[in-house]
Structure 1
Amino acid sequence: MAASKERQIHSPPGLTASVWQYFRFYQRANETTDKTYTICKICKAKIKYLSNTTNMRQHLVRFHPETEKDPPTVPTTQRTILETVSKLPKNSQKAKSITKAIATFIATDLRPYSVGLDPNIRLFGYSGRKHFAEKEIPHLYNETKANVLASMEKASRIALTCDAWTSVATKSFVTITAHFVLASDKNGWKLVSHVLQTREMSESHTGANVAELLKLAAAEWQISDKDLVLVTDNASNMVVAAQKANFVHLKCYAHTANLASQKALKLAAVAKLLARIRRISTFFHRSTTGLHLLEENQKLLGLKRHKLKTDVCTRWNSAYEMTERFLEQQPAITATLLSPQLLQNTEPNTEDSPLVRDIKKAIHDDLSSRYTSEAEKSLLYTASALDPRFKALPFLSEEEREQTYGKVIAEAASLEQEVRVEEKTPEDNARAAAAVTSDTEEDQEKELPSAPPAKRSCTLLENLLGPAFTNQAPEPISAYTRAKDEMAKYRLALTPSLQEDPLLWWSVHQVLYPMIANVAKRYLCIPGSSVSAERVFSTAGDIVTAQRSTLKSEHIDQLVFLHKNVCVPDSGTDDEKSDEDE
């Protein structure tokens, strides 16, 4: 429609935004308003209208910036955010859901109980620290504990790790973690780990006291019948505790490797070299001038601006990382130390073959004194045989290999028989008892003289073809024979690469070796180290801070437990429910 046949009108009264004081619509000849475009009152430009003010505001900013000196007016009737929030009734379902969400936030994000005192949270009408500490967190703990118990109930064997630590308040705690393998047709094999408890232990950490703590924990978590394996460090009290608690015990490989490596690092030549690197690293950590010059030299030489590392005696690999970082930054370090501002006397030191031999001998001698128990070695050999990556057992003699394979075969057959006994119903047992009684009666009848059986007349077809087509039931194959056949096939299977996950391998191949797979679940759940318990210490350190050093031990236990387990889904009867929860 031509512009001459149109006339401009003011914007409709319902549009109250401040920008409308500069724009209007066209009105057609038939008295209808054309809202396809708006007309700028200042420059008469046509601006496409999309039911919002964005295009109009951009036009004003670009072509009429002088209009911005008048800020848009806010209606005096507009309420603030605080005024729009209304308190919910405490017993309402929405209020309960929000309270539970806040409790979960406290546990997962390591927040203090006093987060409930935040004014924005109290707007919803919830209580403060005491409410969360004494009601919400314990309720969430009991709920999550029930999920963990249901999860562990499905495990055939559970491995525990145990370690002690001291809080900033100089209170001693012992943390216990659990590990097991869950297998399902839909999700495959999955290694599941839970932090069970973190309990204060004020008495002496003797083997007897630790054993009592472990037995109480096993009873509380209903896992005493799960053929428990305990993984700890090499401390003598832990060895005694495992014996007194009647647990299969395995020493932490990481701790053992560290002890052996520390023996090598204490050799005179090695210790002298590490001491020099350590002094240089410590110097750059303490000297701001030296660190500044080092960073400048790193930039000039095109090296990454990495800080030097200093080793820690409790971690053997920290000495390796310190040396590796020193060699990486050696050009920049040399340039910095030889600068006129920082002149240091350093002497080069290279490792030669005799030194390498001394290091290997020191490590070998120390490792030879570890894992001396036959039960411990048998456990490690069996676990290696059931890991498809190491099933060839090249580190063992031929006799030891065959003994290990034989142990797996015997255990597989035993598990198969146990499963068959458990699966029998009372009717099956009654029939079995009746069969035994019948057999006994038959044996007794055999002892008495009896008349010879009556001869049955045979047909011509039976006389002709009977011997070739006699209907004889096949002889049953024993569980041991079937396990032996599975082991033979398993040993001949293609060995996967070292990068492959053994649990993923077994989830795919368990249909081929079902009896051996049952044994693998019992051994591949055992962690090689007790690191999982030690990792809890850092979490506990974030909870028991200097500002929260007076937390009760039961609250520490609940918060550590929830931080590690609160995401455990409710136990379902089918895999689909678990997937949805996860």
Structure 2
Amino acid sequence: MKSIHALYETEKGKKEAALAQAEYVALTGDHWTSVSNTNYLGVTAHLITKAWELQSFALTIMKTEERHFAEACAEQFQTVACKWEIERKVTTIGTDSARNMIAAARILPYEHMPCIAHVIQRSITVSLADSGFVPALAKCRKIVGHFKHSPANVTELNAEQVKLGQQQEPLIQDVPTRWNSTLEMVKRIIPNQAAIKATLDQQQHNLVMLTPAEWDKLQRLETLLEPCRYVTQILGGEAYVSCSVVLPALCHLHRVMETSDEDPAYMIRFKTKFKDDLGSRQEHTNNAWLKIATALDPRFKDLKSVPKADREEVWTKLGGLLRESPGRPSHTTEDGPPKKKMNLLLQLGSDSESDEEVQPDRALHRYRAEPTIEMTDCPLQWWSSHAGAHDKLAPLARKYLATPASSVPCERLFSLAGHIVQKKRSALLSENVDKLPHAAVFYWLMPLH
């Protein structure tokens, strides 16, 4: 225990030093219940260092005893920010779209970033319930359950897989709360169609096999869900910039969900419902923040993922943020207006602007004139080599690009905590539950998988 406490203090000191040097810090947070029925709040921090490196680490797994009302949630986030002395540096708080979290975000003085991965998964669930895939998926679940609940059935399935020259692999059961599990179930059952049929032909069962038309539906469903899985995984990363990828990723999903004349009616129904539901949910995300982040990413600064009518508004907003930046000199002093302003007052009838007013426009013009970089390039590396030429925009890039696109970092934190608070360790003190993830050195050095 002494070693754990000493390691905790060491890692805590590293994090305090990183937070003290950071200009802006983004947070993600969510609640979690342990096997001992104890509630915890997990919070992670995300920042871009002066060397243009993205850092992500855990701040706390704090035991909570209050009901998760909005006021209590907001107070808990404020407590964590004050404890780490970052209440004036926090820019955004990323959470899921639960009502209490949305209400808590309204109370807090920070921007709210709803988890985009949750948004996509909710749209998938709604679209599946309103499509023609439900009967085929129900049969899939019963077939998979038939093998998952019997070791003897699994052995016979493996024998058939060997006969057919296939790899021995278990079937996957989908779980409503596990993202992309429906896709994984479909991707595993389709190539094992022959092995499953051969195994069931040797057994007595009351299962109803899928028809050829239903197998075809599953293959079409795989093509629909694969882009969603791809986008979810991209937005769930924390070792790279993800906030600026949201709008291009959602634009990609809208594009792949376009209907065609070759689509059967059930696919058209799924695509239409998905686009409508995703569009309505996207309206309740922090679009203003996402647009600025996209503009500050040299990969996407052409704003092709933003409607043409809104693109100039984004640059106007960014210019306003430059004028409001804290590093800019004040227009007034205790002794009165600056001399430059006084000289301008003498130029009656002149429409010219001061250098301070023109500078943000010049900075934006220089940045917009820069060529976009490749999708595979790192935007932080670009900013590292161009920060001097765009020194006025660089602080805003650190601020907006540090925000994660999802609350997945908290999910990874809960996975780590779940390995710590097992049934055999259910009596572990809450303060030690908070310290152990910090003491795990690998969590400080790399994202959890």
Q: Which stretch of the first structure deviates more once superposed, 330-339 or 144-153?
A: 330-339
Q: Does residue 528 in structure 1 map to residue 405 in structure 2?
A: yes
- The TM-score, its normalising length taken from structure 1, stands at 0.61
Q: How does 1:241-252 map to 2 (within 5 A)?
A: 241-252=104-115
SS at 2:50 equivalent: strand
* Aligned residue in 1 for 2:155: 292
* Contact 2:92 2:113 survives alignment (8 Å): yes
Q: Deviations over 1:194-250 (max 9, x none)?
A: 211111111111000011111111111111111421100001111111111222101
Over the matched positions of the two proteins, sequence identity in percent amounts to 32
Q: Is 1:563 matched up with 2:440?
A: yes
Partner of 2:174: 311
Q: Greater RCO between the two (CA within 8 Å, min separation 6)?
A: 2
Report deviation, 1:373.
4.6
Unaligned runs of 5+ in 2: 218-262, 347-351
What letter corresponds to residue 509 of structure 1 in structure 2?
A: H
Structure 1 equivalent of residue 60 of structure 2? 197
State the distance in 2 between where 1:380 and 1:257 align.
16
Superposed CA deviations along residues 399-447 of structure 1, whole A, max 9, x for unmatched, are: 31111111122223432xx32549xxxxxx9xx877969899999xx9x
Q: Are 2:41 and 2:62, in contact at CA under 8 Å, matched by a contact in 1?
A: yes
Q: Secondary structure at the match of 1:514?
A: coil
1:231 equivalenced with 2:142 (yes/no): no
Does residue 1:505 correspond to 2:382, yes or no? yes
Aligned mate of 1:166, from 8, 26, 33: 33
| 2:200 is equivalent to residue 337 of structure 1 | yes
Equivalence map 1:487-502=2 (5 Å): 487-502=364-379
Query: Are the equivalent residues in 2 in contact too, given 1:301–1:332 (CA < 8 A)?
Result: yes
Per the alignment, do residues 315 and 265 of structure 1 end up closer, same or farther by CA in structure 2, a change over 3 Å counting?
Answer: farther
Give the alignment partner of residue 145 of structure 1, picking from 1, 5, 12.
12
Whole-angstrom CA distance in 2 between matches of 1:163 and 1:541: 14
| 1:25-66 deviation line (CA, Å, top 9, x unaligned) | xxxxxxxxxxxxxxxxxxxxxxxxxxxxxxxxxxxxxxxxxx
Cα offset, 1:560, TM superposition: 2.2
In the alignment, what sits opposite 1:426? Answer: none
Distance 1:501 1:303, change over 3 A: farther
Distance 1:363 1:241, change over 3 A: same
- CA deviations on 1:315-336 (whole Å, 9 max, x unpaired) are 3411111111111222322332
* SS of the residue 2:393 aligns to: helix
Q: Aligned residue for 1:514?
A: 391
Per the alignment, residue 365 of structure 1 pairs with 276
**Any idea what SS the aligned residue of 1:175 has?**
strand
Q: Alignment partner of 2:302: what SS?
A: coil
Q: Distance in 2 between matches of 1:228 and 1:396?
A: 23
> Counterpart amino acid of 1:159?
A
- In 1, the alpha carbon distance for the partners of 2:442 and 2:85 equals 17
Point out where structure 1 has 5 or more consecutive residues left out of the alignment.
Answer: 1-112, 114-131, 423-428, 447-474, 569-582
User: In the alignment, residue 157 of structure 1 is paired with which amino acid?
Assistant: Y
Q: Deviations over 1:289-308 (max 9, x none)?
A: 32222222222222222221
Q: Structure 1 residues 362 and 478 mapped into 2: Cα distance closer, same or farther (>3 Å)?
A: same
Query: Which runs of structure 2 are paired with 1:44-443 in the superposition (5 Å)?
Result: 113=1, 132=2, 136-184=3-51, 189-267=52-130, 269-339=132-202, 345-346=208-209, 347-348=211-212, 349=214, 350-351=216-217, 353-373=264-284, 376-415=286-325, 418-421=326-329
Q: Aligned-pair distance for 1:500? A: 2.8
Counterpart secondary structure, 1:177: strand
Give the whole-Å Cα distance in 2 for the aligned partners of 1:247 and 1:440: 35
SS at match of 1:550: coil
Q: 1:139 to 1:330 in 2, by over 3 A?
A: same
User: What is the identity, as a one-letter code, of the residue corresponding to 1:478?
Assistant: D
Alpha-carbon spacing, 1:366–1:197, altered in 2? closer, same or farther (3 Å)? same
Q: Mark the structure with the bigger radius of gyration.
A: 1
Q: Measure the CA separation in 1 of the matches of 2:128 and 2:441.
A: 36
- Conserved? CA contact 1:310–1:318, under 8 Å: yes
C-alpha spacing 1:393/1:438, structure 2 compared with 1 (3 Å): closer
Structure-2-length-normalised TM-score: 0.78
